[in-house]
Amino acid sequence: MDLSDYHPPVKRSITINGHQSSISLEPLFWDMLKSEAAKREIAINALVAGIDAQRIQSPTPPGLASAIRVWLVSENLV
């Protein structure tokens, strides 16, 4: 890890199922999200919509940014 990886969250606008939202993630997680979307050949919005659909099914759903971080880490552990 590089010291430049320690960066405060960056807020970006995203559209989930036709609704505008903004998400704050650290640049490292934005990069991971972009990579996963490219690997799956889907738009970042579509990937986030899928993560959002999974998170709301949880008995105690976390915030979307937290769900994205957890999803990304769990995908990269496999």
For 6-60, the pLDDT digits (tens) are 888 999 999 998 999 999 999 999 999 999 999 999 999 999 999 999 999 999 9
43: closest CA among 17, 22, 69, 23?
A: 17
Sequence-distant (≥ 6) Cβ neighbours of residue 74 within 8 angstroms: none
| Domain spans, the chain | 3-77
Would you state the pLDDT for residue 76?
Answer: 83
Would you state the pLDDT for residue 3?
Answer: 72
pTM of the model: 0.89
Would you state the pLDDT for residue 6?
Answer: 83
As a CATH number, domain 3-77 is 1.10.3990.20
Grade residue 1 by pLDDT with cuts at 50, 70 and 90.
Answer: low
